[in-house]
Amino acid sequence: MDIVLVHGAGGTPSTWSGVAPLLRAAGHRVQLVTNPMNSLREDVANTAALLDATTGPVLLVGHSYGGAVITNVGRDERVAGLVYVCAFAPDEGESIQDIIGRYPPAEVSRHMRRGPDGEWFSDHSPEYWAEIGWDVPEDERASFDADSRPSADAIFAEPTGVPAWRHLPAWYLVAAQDKTLRPDTQRDMAARAGATVAEITGSHFTPRVWPRDVADLVERAAASLAGAPR
């Protein structure tokens, strides 16, 4: 099966550096997207263009903000299913800001900063790592900092179109100790989307810290879509 991996806000394909090799070793064709993060609309179009490089049914996998991207890209008829990894799964007309605003602030809000053009980035101070990404090995934190990019406010403010989870099967991996996207928010979105839910103990950095668990859920989703028992 073709699997397209979509990073979150501020991220790059390095988000999936541990996951992609596992999926390829299992025989899947894996595509990694690099989104510009100037607007949700542009990121959706950029990700959808990558589908032209696929050859079969596509399984979309999104981390964090990447969930909003796959929710919209999934309307393409080539997409067979969706996997959300501690990710946003907005409804029609709903933005990420709308979702966040319905819950008490997550701990990461204390570490968010705005640039001169209104873009958002997180301040990766020692306090940030201690509170938000405590489970990321210290020797990996410098590479994460080097890869991080600012994200335009528009990716969080633009509303979603008709969500693909209304007509496609979905899976959701909840990070139970997430300090970036509250676990209760994750569970509520997963339930609304009718997703098959798995849960792991860990932070928002699940793809980096628990790549085997992420790959296992993606493989279960792929097997289900292929009609194979797993």
Q: What is the CATH number of the domain that holds 194?
A: 3.40.50.1820
pLDDT in tens, 108-131: 989 878 788 777 777 888 999 999
Q: Is 230 part of any domain?
A: no
Amino acid letter, 47: T
128 inside domain: yes
Q: Are 8 and 87 in contact (CB under 8 A)?
A: yes
Residues 185 and 99 sit within 8 Å (Cβ to Cβ)? yes
Q: Is 95 a catalytic residue?
A: no
Residue 110 in tokens: 């204390």
Global pTM reads: 0.94
Question: Does residue 169 belong to any structural domain of this protein?
Answer: yes
Structural domain boundaries enclosing 218:
2-225
Number of domains in the chain: 1
How far apart are alpha carbons 161 and 68 in whole angstroms? 10
Given 64, 95, 122, 151, which residue is catalytic? 64
Q: Is residue 166 part of a domain?
A: yes
pLDDT digits (tens, 9 = 90+) for 31-59: 999 999 999 999 999 999 999 988 879 99
Return the structure tokens found at 131.
């509170």
Phi, psi of 57 (to 5 degrees): -55, 145
* Location of structure tokens 């994200």: 151
Mean model confidence pLDDT for the chain: 93
Spatial distance between the Cα atoms of 216 and 22, rounded to a whole number of angstroms? 9
